[in-house]
Structure 1
Amino acid sequence: MNVDNKNLKILLFIIVCVEGFISLGIELIAIRQIVPFAGSNILNTSIIIGFFLLSLSLGYYRGGLVNKNYLEKLSLNLTITFIIFSIGISYFFILFLFYLVPNILLGVLAFSVLVIIPSIYFLGQTIPLATNFFKDNISRVSGTLLFLSTIGSFLGAICTSAILMNYIGVNNTIVFFSFLIFLLLAIINIYLKRIGYLFIFAFFFLFFVTINQYPFLSNNMHSNIEIFEENNTTRILSINNSIASSFDIDTINTTFTYILKIQDIIKNHLKIKESNILVIGAGGFTVSLNDTLNNYTYVDIDKKLKEISERYFLKKNINGSFIPMEIRYFFNKYPNLKYKVIVLDAFTNRFSVPSALLTNEFYKQVSDRLIDDGYVFINVVGDPTFGNSFSLKSYNTILNNFNCMTIPIGFKTNSNILYICRKKQSQEIYSDNRINLFDFIR
């Protein structure tokens, strides 16, 4: 078939461009949606990208084998994608999937097989299907279609995370993409004069809107935030399915043992006052509760935390200032700022720790921002008996940059381990050959 109908040609170009936009959007939403369950690490991202590219290539190949009813086939493909994406990418489905498959790696693989592969496979057939409508200047047509698809992908990559997730939230971004697919289906079926199909698609769309409306206080590109109460005495702040902070309504303080320990050491043992204290990882802004003697600065990447904490969690203004910024960028932007105390509290659980905050280079930055007689408190969620490589490597990395003592808060596999550190000083050790007896004189 050669396209003589100008309207059909415009329709095909629009479909291909929007398909590129939707494809990249699905990939980015998928990466974001598994963060509360599998964390944000390069392995999960590479798995999603790998299956995305594999599915796209299979779709290209399969689409080139179709030899009739191209628009009908395109409508069917979009219908299947419409259903799989809208259900499979929803928070409820992923919650259920990771409940059934608690192993993180297997859960990500299962998610990729059940959602990414079929969605992108059927979308990937769009370009070869559209090419079948042209018989002249095939190379030029193919180039044009690839150009439009890539432009759509570029816009999808930029707009999905920077604009849509940031301003309307992840759930509404999913609804927006479902609406785009619904719109393409409506246009194609109106062209095919299958008006009755529109009512079916509209019903499914309304159903998808309903299942993608989980009542988060915030679900932007960084995190899902919820707040709930226990026994009318304790407020819990949950970030990405992990309890990030706890607030006792009666004592007006945190219930987290390690934060209470930090507060006690700063106030009663080190007797620090009139000093600048940096807290990395804001949580519910509980580190500075009831301390009016020091100046606190919180740095966290999620700009919504302050508003949510003041309105729903603490229900009062935070004690200190808040800078919504990635911490390593903050260190690079303000290299001359020094602190008496730095509290690193970005560890909610072992799989959701930002990998950039685990490295030797990061701890070197932390050390450089500490005054000579300053202290660093580091909360790590790990195994205090070094039962896994994460706990051991974290311990080795921290001790490579600081002189530390550790206080295990518990002895479970995933327990809070509080490191109390100072700048790296002497690396001398005791040996049979050399012991300085003056060290034992008090």
Structure 2
Amino acid sequence: MTSPQPHGTFPGGTIAGQAQHQGGGETLHQANHHAGHRGRHAGHQARSVAEHVAAVAELLRPLRALNRIEVLPLHEALGRGLVSDVTAPISLPPFANSQMDGYAIRSADVPDGGTDFRVMPPVPAGASPAALGPGMAAPIMTGAMLPEGADAVVPIERAIPDRFLPHTEQAMVKLPAAAPGAFVRYTGSDVRAGETALASGTFLGPAQLGLLAALGISEVAVHKAVTVLLVTTGDEVVEPGQELPAGKIYDSNGTLLEAAMKQAGLQVRRAGIASDNPGELRTLLRTEGGVDLIVTTGGVSKGAYEVVRQAMEDQRVEFLHVAMQPGGPQGIGTFEGRPFLGFPGNPVSCLVSFEMFLRPVLAGLFGTPAPRLPIRARLSRPLTSPEHKHQVRRGTLQPDGTVELQGGESSHLMHALAGSNVLVHVPEGVAALTAGAEVEVWML
């Protein structure tokens, strides 16, 4: 494919837009070699970010099967993705109503200088009012149905007197002229019956669920949450809270990825820390059934003790290098028929791998999680980047629209990651950017 353009865009849109498209239902641009075709090595030409996103989407596409759809009441559907379009069964608003507390009138009854009106019985919200007669004004509350014959509302503060009068046969009010439609919410001005209210794949947040409730819809068909088996590997890794022997490190990857996955709407099952024994890892994976996807961290590079590579020797799994920094080494395929992704072991690398590959594919396929918001920002200082790789840096977006880079390029800098609120993208083909250069950043 064509190399990404400078300042964070792929041909056809932003990085985020490209990733979202790759995860969707359309035919994908295929990677040079599918996951599951073994024999490709990291020493060969690296796969592009877009190609690997496409491969991950192909791997997970079977999880869109019909047996993975469920119908949930609205109060249980928060954070899920819509399976199909929702057509509005009614119009919103369902009737013309008042935007203000005031008087409903016929605009044609009022000369330019205003005139006196006889006051009708008031129209509270929820009432079905009588038709409006000529020369009459109906006190009306916000949201109340507009009486038949009325086409405008005069706010109460413009009336003389500027308060509601008790209804009597003699009650009169002076009102100024009003244009037709003034302070009126017309039927269907928000959405009309028969129109698409929400498109398939929509992420159901509070606003979307509120719209469905306003339309009288009580339940909705959504994709089932994907269940992930998360495995941290390495003899050098110790669970937090335990004593830390010399040469050991605490496991941050498990907590980091579990939190990211749960935030993204995944069901996560932690398998603890697997040793560097390939046989033990295979046994662990076989005994953990009932999951849709296996994700491991560590053991995917070309070192002598890469346990994940060794454990997958007889499986349809490919280990390759993606032209990305950090997170270049990746594993992808199936373990005994179940989708498998192997992320690198450094903390920043594994999180960037999740954000670049798994999160956007899930959003495209299942409508959840909501895609990361891509915005444009300007660098507060210059940077360099390996020209043949897509670099992902951590940064803090400032109120003035500039982004301050946090830490360096190294993938172990957890403190810098914790102090960041954006991922900064430097596309392949860009070797250096000056202070003030515009980049694409994703809000975390």
> TM-score w.r.t. structure 2 length?
0.25
Rg larger for: 2
> TM-score w.r.t. structure 1 length?
0.25
Greater strand fraction, Structure 1 or Structure 2: 2
- Choose between structure 1 and 2 for higher RCO, CA contacts under 8 A separated by at least 6 residues: 2
Greater helix fraction, Structure 1 or Structure 2: 1
